[in-house]
Amino acid sequence: MTWTSVEMMTVTAARALTDDDVCFVGIGLPSAACNLARLTHAPRLRLVYESGTIETRPDVLPLSIGDGELCETALTTVSVPEMFQYWLQGGRITIGFLGGAQVDRFGNLNSTVIGDYARPQVRLPGGGGAPEIAACCRRIFIVMRHSRRAFVDRLAFLTTLGHGPTGQERRALGLTTEGPALLVSDLCIMRPHPETKELQVTSLHPGVTRDRVVEETGWPVAFSGVVVETPAPTARELEVLRDLHARTAAAHGVPAE
């Protein structure tokens, strides 16, 4: 079977989740990846969304954290203060799944502005709960499309702390959670170096070369000592993902992705 680069990215991100995880889910690509995992290899994966829905099992992908699909299919819904104070700050979430407009080599994210803050070229939605998610979840997974516009040497604005501007600030601030442990793009998989915390390529998706990753990355990208090829999506994974997108499109009255 053939697949798109976005399908490759979504499937790869989904595979990183397990039945033992409690996952704080972001809207968009993170939501697609988490629900694909739940519908395939990790049926006991517990999904929570920022609006307070716990163990939600949506039949279609939500348009936002306030989508009624989340509340209707959740085991229970709690208040937002309880979600953040008891569940998130209480250390009960194993994985935070995030995206952003920009990411740097240390997994810091920008979802605030492009350009000067006072006179931005683009005003973005903002951080929402992402800064708290990144600080309090045990580990962070990032999923983003790969381009020089998104993978930048210097963020226009630091919205969400990864490992900090030099890779050392997270530990210096006393945060005990791991921070960004995985980045999945439509070209490759990146993981932080154990010491420097700089993201380095550990796996290339089928058909992607090192040169292409270098061309699409805004910093001098590093490769791990052993770089493998990411396993291709299976027919089953693609079938479930495409069916999920088709149901979502039908429910929202838009073309399927």
Residue count of the chain = 257
Catalytic residue chosen out of the listed positions 50, 69, 216, 237: 50
Query: What was the pLDDT predicted at 243?
Result: 97
Query: What was the pLDDT predicted at 148?
Result: 96
pLDDT confidence tier of residue 81, bands split at 50, 70 and 90: very high
Domain range 5-252, CATH architecture: 3-Layer(aba) Sandwich (3.40)
Reference 133, options 105, 169, 166, 107; nearest CA is: 107
Question: What would the pLDDT profile of 194-220 be if each residue is shown by its tens digit?
Answer: 999 999 999 999 999 999 999 999 999
Sign of CA dihedral 16, 257, 243, 7: negative
Check if 50 is active-site: yes
Reference 19, options 2, 1, 34; nearest CA is: 34
pLDDT value at 255 more than 80: no
Per-chain mean pLDDT for the chain = 94
pLDDT confidence tier of residue 223, bands split at 50, 70 and 90: very high
